């Protein structure tokens, strides 16, 4: 399918072929980044990177991607410096910025906010995360990382560990990987297990899965996708203290895991992966963060009709 002019708001309406095409372009972009450092592919384009919610990683990753392709950028990095403070609607902000640039990247806290922006303007919009909603570039860079680490997307056993209830990334990953014949291991304390509606969808898709609260079960996977357990999620703080140790990945645990197991994490990490793990070849999470630049270069080029 042709991506020119298209919005990237969610991964749900991407076909298997769409995803494979995005992966292919991302590979090319990794090459551009590593060999030529910069390209002139978008040198006649300008992109607004509008972040109405704090985020270093995603914002800087997009700004890097924009500039590596030769495009210019204008940025809102701080919601407090914005007119939305004065009560302006998201749609009005978007319609104004539409006259300045060729593409809008939007991150804001309202679920569905990216769609509001996309509906308001005629230029392509990329969702950089809309609160409890979607974060499609994260899901796609996760797929790209899996492909790079394991050499393929098909037939992989993927364990997701930590806060599976509120963790947006594991929800998206569960759907995004679905076309590739995966098997899922959901590893979490009972209070933070994967929501029923996602299990229902997984069942409908005939994806084999298991639930566990023992991290040793998760170590049998090809991919170990760690997420942060936030203290604030527990009503009883002593409950948190009791549990958190059971979901911390150590070097010792990795050694017990399946050979070549790839450890991923959407970052920021707090303490759920011990720093001693960083030096292992299995530790893929910083490579994962870096892959975000190539993936975003790909999407920017594609929606502006240059890839």
Task: List residues with catalytic annotation.
Answer: 57-58, 86, 107, 135
- Strands (DSSP E) found in 162-230: 183-187, 209-212, 223-226
Indicate the residue among 12 and 78 with the shorter CB distance to a second copy: 78
Minimum CB distance to a second copy, residue 86 (Å): 5
Contact with a second copy (CB under 8 A): which of 9, 19, 22, 48?
48
To a second copy, the closest distance from the beta carbon of 83 in angstroms equals 4
Work out the end-to-end distance of the chain between its first and last CA atoms, rounded to an integer number of angstroms.
12
Rounded CA-CA distance 142/144 in Å is: 5
Q: Which of 101, 187, 249, 264 touches a second copy by CB under 8 A? A: 101
Total interface residues for a second copy by CB under 8 A: 54
Residue 9 CA to residue 13 CA, distance in Å, equals: 9
Instruction: Between 66 and 202, name the residue whose CB sits nearer to a second copy.
Output: 66
Question: Which residues lie closer than 8 Å to 307 by C-beta, 6 or more apart?
Answer: 3, 25, 28, 29, 41, 298, 301
92 touching a second copy, by CB under 8 A: yes
Of the pair 182, 266, the CB lying nearest a second copy is at 266
Report the residue from 72, 211, 233, 258 that binds a second copy according to the rule CB under 8 A: 72
Exposure class string for 248-270: b at 16+ Cβ within 10 A, else e: bbebebbeebbeebbbbbbbebe
Tokens of 203: 């069942």
82 sits near a second copy (criterion: CB under 8 A) = yes
**20 interacts with a second copy by CB under 8 A:** no
When asked if residue 34 is in the footprint of a second copy (CB under 8 A), the reply is no
The piece of 158-166, 193-201, 255-263, 264-272 that touches a second copy (CB under 8 A) is 264-272
Which of these, 81, 92, 134, 144, lies nearest to 291 by C-alpha position? Answer: 144
Strand pairing of 223-226 and 209-212? Answer: unpaired
The verdict on 254 binding a second copy (CB under 8 A) reads no
Contacts of 244 (CB under 8 A, 6+ apart): 229, 272
Min dist CB 67 to a second copy, Å, is 4
Position 54 contacts a second copy (CB under 8 A): yes
What's the min distance (Å) between Cβ of 4 and a second copy?
A: 17
DSSP state string for 238-298: HHHHHHHGGG-B-HHHHHHSPTTPEEE--S--SSSB-GGGTTSTTB-HHHHHHHHHHHHHH
- Enumerate binding residues for a second copy (CB under 8 A): 37-38, 43-46, 48, 51, 54-57, 59-61, 63-64, 67-68, 72, 74, 76-78, 80-88, 91-93, 95-101, 267-270, 275, 278, 286-287, 289-290, 293
């Amino acid at each position: 399918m042709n991506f020119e002019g298209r919005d990237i708001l969610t991964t749900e309406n991407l076909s298997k072929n769409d995803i494979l095409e995005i992966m292919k372009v991302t590979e090319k972009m990794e090459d551009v980044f590593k060999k030529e450092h910069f390209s002139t592919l978008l040198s006649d384009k300008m992109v607004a990177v509008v972040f109405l919610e704090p985020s270093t990683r995603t914002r800087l990753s997009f700004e890097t991607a924009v500039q590596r392709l030769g495009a210019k950028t204008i940025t809102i990095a701080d919601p407090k410096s914005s007119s939305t403070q004065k009560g302006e609607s998201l749609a009005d902000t978007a319609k104004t910025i539409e006259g300045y640039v060729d593409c809008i990247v939007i991150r804001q806290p309202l679920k569905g906010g990216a769609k509001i922006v996309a509906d308001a303007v005629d230029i392509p919009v990329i969702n950089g995360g809309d609160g409890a909603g979607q974060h499609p570039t994260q899901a796609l860079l996760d797929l790209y990382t899996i492909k790079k680490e394991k050499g393929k997307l098909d037939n992989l056993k993927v364990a997701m560990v930590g806060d599976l209830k509120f963790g947006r990334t594991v929800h998206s990953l569960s759907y995004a990987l679905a076309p590739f014949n995966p098997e899922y291991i959901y590893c979490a304390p009972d209070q933070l297990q994967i929501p029923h509606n996602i299990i229902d969808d997984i069942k409908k898709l005939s994806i084999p899965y298991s639930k566990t609260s023992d991290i040793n079960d998760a170590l049998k996977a090809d991919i170990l996708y760690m997420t942060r357990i936030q203290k604030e999620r527990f009503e009883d703080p002593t409950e948190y203290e009791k549990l958190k140790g059971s979901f911390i990945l150590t070097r010792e645990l990795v050694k017990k895991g399946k050979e070549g197991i790839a450890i991923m994490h959407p970052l920021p990490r707090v303490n759920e992966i011990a720093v001693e793990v960083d030096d292992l070849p299995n530790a893929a999470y910083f490579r994962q963060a870096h892959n975000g630049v190539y993936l975003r270069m790909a999407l920017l080029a594609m929606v502006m009709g240059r890839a």
